């Protein structure tokens, strides 16, 4: 464990970046999976199955991907905060 705190204060809007990364990643994954399924089943596409798959993916993927998106956002913040710091305050 690195002991890096992923839960920061809500008043600083630090949660927004993780939320945005999660939304983009999960909905992109949903679109890719549904389109791949439709192309695989073409021309006899079971549209009811496509609808169920899309709804399940749209609900489940943000829940599953959130910890990864939050960790990725903390890493992005860390890199940019490190670059923005004066040279005498940077970590080696």
* pTM strictly above 0.85: no
Could you tell me if residue 88 is inside a domain? no
Decide if 57 is inside a domain: yes
Q: Which residues span the domain enclosing 53? A: 34-83
Predicted confidence at residue 80, as pLDDT, reads: 81
> What one-character DSSP code corresponds to residue 86?
-
At residue 7, the pLDDT reads: 61
Q: Are 38 and 45 in contact (CB under 8 A)?
A: yes
What pLDDT score was predicted for residue 52?
97
Q: Can you tell me the distance from the alpha carbon of 60 to that of 47, in angstroms, rounded to the nearest whole number?
A: 20
Number of domains composing the chain:
1
28 in a domain, yes or no? no
What does DSSP assign to residue 53?
H
pLDDT of 32 strictly over 60? yes
Residue 45, pLDDT above cutoff 70: yes
Answer whether residue 54 is part of any domain: yes
User: Looking at the domain assignment, is residue 61 inside a domain?
Assistant: yes
> To the nearest whole percent, how much of the chain has pLDDT over 70?
73
């Amino acid at each position: 464990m690195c002991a890096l705190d992923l839960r920061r204060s809500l008043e600083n809007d630090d949660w927004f970046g993780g939320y945005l990364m999660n939304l983009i990643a999960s909905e992109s994954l949903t679109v890719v999976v549904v389109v791949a399924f439709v192309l695989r089943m073409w021309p006899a596409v079971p549209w009811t199955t496509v609808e169920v798959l899309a709804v399940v993916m749209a609900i489940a993927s943000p829940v599953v991907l959130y910890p990864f998106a939050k960790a990725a956002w903390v890493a992005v913040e860390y890199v940019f905060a490190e670059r923005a710091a004066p040279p005498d305050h940077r970590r080696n």
